[in-house]
Structure formats: C-alpha cells, structure tokens
C-alpha cells in the first residue's frame, strides 16, 4: 500500500496522531506532505507565518529521526494533492479531521472528491479535539448546547464511554518513495522565510517559538512548576492580563499553549491526560471547571462542538445561535481600534501587544472585543474576528467566532448591560500602568494617576511627561460613558426584536447612529462582565 499523509495547519505533530499511525500501518511507502502556497502572499500575519515555518522545520526534523521527511508541496491542497496523487500512484490518502471551520471542512471535502475521482482510498481520523464531536452532538440531541454546564455533562458521559487516551508518536515510519525525494528535493523542502514573504530578521524578537518540540517543552515546564501545584491550582480569573512576561515560568499569566493547540503541535488529549496525572493526581485539592485548566480545555471542546453543529457559525446572518444586531459600519473606528489609537491606553496597549507578539491574555481579548462591539464602538464582531484572524498566532475559527459572539453578547452570554470599563478594569490589575508604559512608549512618563485617562491630565503634567494628548497620543475616540449607555439601549432594542421575532432570523431593530468623538465624560465605575 502506498499512502500520502497530508499534514494540515492543525495537525503539525507526531505524538498522539491516530491518523498518522493508521496511515503508517500496512503502508510500504508513506509520503508525508504539507501544502503551502508559498509564492503568493498568505493571508496570515507575519507572526503566524513565522510560527508555521518553525513548526514545519520541527516536524521535518522529527520525521527525519524516523527515517522519513516532510515534503512541502506548492499550492492549495486541492491543487497540489491532485498532482501528487497522479505522480506517485498511491492507493491511499490519510489526514486528521479538522471540523473547526467551514473552510477546513470545504478543503477536506475537495480533497476527498479528488481522491475518489482518482480511485484512491481516504482515511480520516479525529485528534484535533478530545472527543468525537459527532458523538458529543448526539448526546446533546443533535444540535449543540450553548450552555457550558450541560455540555460538561455530555462530555463526562462521552469520556466514560470512550476514555481519553493520548497515544505515543510512531517509533518508525515507512520510507518515502524515491520519486518524491530525487531531483526536486530542494524545491520540496521547508521554505526559507523570504519564500513566504517574511523579512530576514523575522526571528529577532520572538517570544513564542513554533513546533512540537517547543510545545512539549512548554507543557513540561508548566507541569513542573511547583511540582504540579501551579497547574493544579490555576484558576483563570486569578491570572493577570497584564503580566509583563506572559511567557516566563514565574508569571501570573496563563499557559500560552494556545498557538500549539491551534496548529496541532500539541494534542489536547495529551494536555488533558498529563494534567490529570501530573497535576490533579498529585494535588487532590485542585481547581475545578469552568475556571481550572481542565475547564479551559473543556471550553475549547465546547466551542468546537458548537462550530461543528452550527450552520454559518462564523457569521451573524444565517447563524441560528447568533442574535441579529444592527452593528454600525465605520472603517475609521475599526482602523483606530485595530491599530491601537483609540485614545484609551489599556485598549491601545493590548492591541499593540497583539500586533507585536500575536498573543494577548484572555481578559485583554475580552476588553478589546467588548470595546469594539457592544461596549464602545458598535462595530460588528465579525470585523473584530477578522482582525484577530490576521494578528493572532493561535487563530482557531471555532474559538475565535465563539468568543467574539460571547463578548458581543450575540450568543452564550446575554448580560449586555455588564460592560468592561476601559479605565476602571485595568486599574484592578495594574495601578501604576506598567503594562501601558511598556507597550505605549509615548505614555512612559505619564503620572500613574492619569495613565488610563491621559486626557484628564493638566497640560503642565502632559508637558512634563513629554506627551501632549491630541498630538503625541490620541484623544479618546468616543466618550466611554456616553457610548456604552447608548449601545446598551441599542442592544436592548435588538434583544426585544429577537424576542418578538421568536428568537431567530433577521432583526427588526433599527440601526441607530454610534455616538462618536463626543467630549469624554469622567469615568464612572461600571459593572464588570462575568469572567470565564
Ligand atoms: P490557558 O488559559 O492556559 O488555557 C489553555 C487552553 O484552553 C488554551 O490554550 C485554549 O486552547 C483553551 N482555552 C482557554 N480559554 C478558552 C476560551 N475562552 N475558549 C475556548 N478555549 C479556551 N483562543 C484560541 O486558541 N484561538 C482564537 O482564535 C481565540 N480567539 C479568541 C477571541 C476572543 C474575542 C476571545 C475573548 C478569546 C479568544 N480565544 C481564542 C480564547 C482564549 O482567549 C485563548 O484560548 C487563551 O487566552 C489562550 O491563552 P492560553 O493558552 O494561555 O490559555
């Protein structure tokens, strides 16, 4: 049997990879391929392209240690694999399922059709999630639940029926056929940074490296922190969105394993089972879902199940679980938010970190997403999700769309009257504004008293800090108190229309204008949104 193994953007690892193990079994020849459109600019941001190349290099090194190698084919899967199926006269094509997005399902369906037309057998197995998502959907009665508590019950029942097991990496792989490795060997190697439009110094200030080896090392590091006690006790709301070194072992941040889970460099089952054995098993007084680390992996599984079972999940229109809200459409507001120039230092610092490093803490994501949508700017969650898709390292369409629906109170979370204040919220974590000073150098010398509301500083203080508001740093783009109140009223209208319309379909709410560039009012304490 001659088999092509298709590594996808979400399966770049050797450990716990049932589809790869099944592909190796009974194959005399195995062609491990990855399809990359290297000559055209990829839609991913720089951080993500660099992470991808590092992951491919690491995967290639791992395969070489098993007497194999990675063959990088040029082009989209449905194009590149058509030629490979014919050139290598294979009998079988294998890959890991990825049900997180309409695009990953479309791409797999196109590849399946190619194989079928060529008379090639297809072998697809799960592994991107902990459970079989169809089995979880069946436990929910066929369509996904949008509440966490019942989902956990379905998950636990499923795990009792089919326990979570993480399998080791293969100890050897069948050889690669000669026709794939001969004359054009170099052309099929992992490309250089310039081939995917990366600058030569793309590696310079990188804090999170791609690849399975880096993923496993980071997992070890977390599980070894205080003999497993850190991971056992970790409760998400107690972590800080403003840890200055989110990637170090001693910080108050979260694990930063998300890029590895998204790219499939780390198996969620390995993470789950090792956590159970090495953290919870040794520290019986451990944290519990929804706030524990296991709870975080359950949130991941929850959103994957929702994405798999919901038509048009990544859009508002035609999405049966999403409230129809008449969002505004203002390119200027969107650009100011995306480029970190809203005049609200906490929001701008978080968006700057996101652009620079490709990762921000969950609560920073909460704050910027709330600000863009129902909080302040009244722009569509889909536009915010698209910006995240460009900037995030850990892009996962199921998690991205799901969390954006949550934060915009379009689904999952409905207390739209609970809103993050861009001034009061960050003060709880970082009174002196060290995080803002780090990411927004213009404000580095601002007095702590005004760090989250610099427009309020007397002009003498602005001069002394070397930063004049309106010249060196923007004035606030909207007045938070005015905008958030007006937006709550618009949300109330959208919710009422939703109720009137029987809970689905298009909204009857009218699009009211967004109050913008109004004079900022003094910040008042607003109720904070509930954390997960
Ligand atoms: P940890 O707290 O250490 O959690 C471990 C793992 O659990 C994470 O790596 C992740 O896989 C999963 N997890 C944690 N929180 C969530 C959550 N709320 N929902 C689902 N799974 C979760 N996460 C992504 O991986 N990709 C995205 O594209 C993405 N987009 C988001 C968009 C918005 C608007 C928001 C509010 C959140 C988004 N998240 C996304 C979820 C969450 O913020 C990140 O998974 C988390 O911050 C990653 O950091 P960590 O690995 O240190 O998380």
pLDDT tens-digit profile of 280-313? 999 999 999 999 999 999 999 999 999 999 999 9
Q: Residue range 314-331: average pLDDT?
A: 97
Q: Residue range 438-453: average pLDDT?
A: 97
Q: How far is the CA of 361 from the centre of ligand 1 (A)?
A: 8
pTM: 0.93
Query: What is the model's pLDDT at position 206?
Result: 65
Q: At what angle do helices 212-224 and 268-275 cross, to 10 degrees?
A: 20
| Residue 400 Cβ contacting ligand 1 at under 6 Å | yes
Q: Has residue 370 got a pLDDT over 50?
A: yes
Locus of tokens 């496993």: 216
Contact in structure between 373 and 403 (CB atoms under 8 Å)? no
Q: Has residue 440 got a pLDDT over 70?
A: yes
Q: How far is the CA of 79 from the centre of ligand 1 (A)?
A: 32
Q: Of the given ranges (34-38, 220-224, 462-466), which has the lowest mean pLDDT?
A: 34-38
Contact in structure between 12 and 36 (CB atoms under 8 Å)? no
| Residue 303 Cβ contacting ligand 1 at under 6 Å | yes
Q: Which helix (H) or strand (E) holds 488?
A: helix 480-500
Angle at 386 between CA 291 and CA 352, to 5 degrees: 70
Query: What is the model's pLDDT at position 43?
Result: 62
Q: Which atom from ligand 1 is nearest to the alpha carbon of 261?
A: 11
Q: Has residue 236 got a pLDDT over 50?
A: yes
Query: What is the model's pLDDT at position 337?
Result: 98
DSSP category for residue 328: B
Q: Has residue 527 got a pLDDT over 60?
A: no
CA distance readout (Å), 512 to 329, 483, 486, 488, 515: 11, 12, 9, 12, 9
| Residue 239 Cβ contacting ligand 1 at under 6 Å | no
Q: How far is the CA of 222 from the centre of ligand 1 (A)?
A: 17
Q: How far is the CA of 395 from the centre of ligand 1 (A)?
A: 9
Residue 3 pairs in a beta bridge with: 30, 92
Q: Residue range 506-525: average pLDDT?
A: 37
| Residue 370 Cβ contacting ligand 1 at under 6 Å | no
Query: What is the model's pLDDT at position 253?
Result: 87
């Amino acid at each position: 049997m001659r088999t092509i193994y298709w590594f996808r953007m979400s399966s770049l690892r050797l450990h716990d990879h049932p589809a790869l193990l099944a592909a190796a079994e009974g194959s005399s020849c195995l062609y491990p391929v990855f399809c990359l459109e290297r000559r055209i600019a990829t839609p991913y941001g720089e951080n993500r392209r660099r992470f991808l190349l590092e992951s491919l290099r690491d995967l290639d090194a791992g395969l070489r240690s098993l007497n194999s190698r990675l063959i990088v084919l040029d082009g989209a899967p449905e194009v590149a694999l058509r030629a490979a199926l014919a050139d290598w006269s294979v009998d079988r094509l294998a890959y890991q399922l990825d049900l997180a997005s309409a695009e990953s399902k479309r791409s797999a369906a196109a590849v399946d059709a190619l194989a079928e037309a060529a008379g090639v057998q297809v072998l697809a197995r799960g592994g991107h999630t902990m459970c079989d998502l169809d089995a979880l959907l069946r436990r929910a009665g066929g369509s996904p639940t949008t509440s966490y508590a019942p989902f956990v019950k379905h998950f636990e029942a499923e795990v009792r029926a089919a326990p979570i097991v993480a399998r080791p990496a293969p100890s050897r792989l069948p050889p690669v056929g000669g026709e794939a490795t001969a004359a054009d060997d170099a052309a099929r190697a992992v490309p250089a940074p310039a081939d995917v439009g990366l600058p030569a110094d793309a590696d310079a200030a990188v804090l999170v490296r791609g690849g399975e080896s880096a993923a496993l090392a980071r997992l070890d590091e977390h599980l070894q922190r205080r003999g497993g006690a850190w991971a056992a006790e970790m409760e998400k709301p107690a972590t800080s969105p403003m840890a200055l070194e989110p990637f170090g072992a001693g910080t108050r941040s979260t694990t930063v394993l998300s890029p590895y889970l998204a790219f499939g460099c780390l198996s969620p089952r390995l993470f789950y089972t090792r956590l159970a054995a090495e953290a919870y098993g040794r520290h019986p007084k451990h944290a519990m879902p929804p706030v524990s680390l296991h709870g975080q992996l359950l949130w991941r599984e929850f959103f994957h199940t929702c994405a798999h079972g919901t038509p048009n999940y990544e859009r508002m229109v035609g999405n049966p679980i999403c409230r129809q809200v008449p969002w505004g459409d203002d390119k200027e507001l969107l650009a100011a938010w995306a480029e970190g120039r809203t005049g609200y230092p906490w929001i701008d610092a978080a968006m700057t970190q996101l652009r620079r490093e490709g990762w921000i803490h969950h609560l920073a994501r909460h704050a910027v997403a709330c600000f863009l949508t129902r909080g302040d700017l009244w722009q569509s969650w889909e536009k915010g999700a698209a910006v995240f898709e460009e900037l995030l390292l850990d892009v996962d369409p199921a998690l991205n769309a799901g969390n954006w629906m949550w934060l915009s109170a379009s689904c999952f979370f409905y207390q739209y009257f609970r809103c993050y204040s861009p001034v009061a919220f960050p003060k709880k974590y970082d009174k002196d504004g060290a995080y803002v000073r780090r990411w927004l150098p213009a404000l580095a010398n601002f007095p702590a008293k005004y760090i989250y509301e610099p427009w309020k500083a007397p002009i003498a203080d602005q001069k002394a800090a070397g930063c004049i508001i309106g010249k060196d740093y923007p004035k606030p783009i909207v007045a938070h108190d005015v905008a958030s109140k007006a937006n709550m009223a618009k949300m109330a209208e959208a919710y009422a229309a939703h109720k009137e319309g029987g809970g689905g379909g298009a909204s009857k709410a009218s699009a009211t204008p967004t109050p913008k560039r109004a004079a900022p009012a003094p910040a008042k304490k607003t109720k904070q949104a509930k954390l997960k």
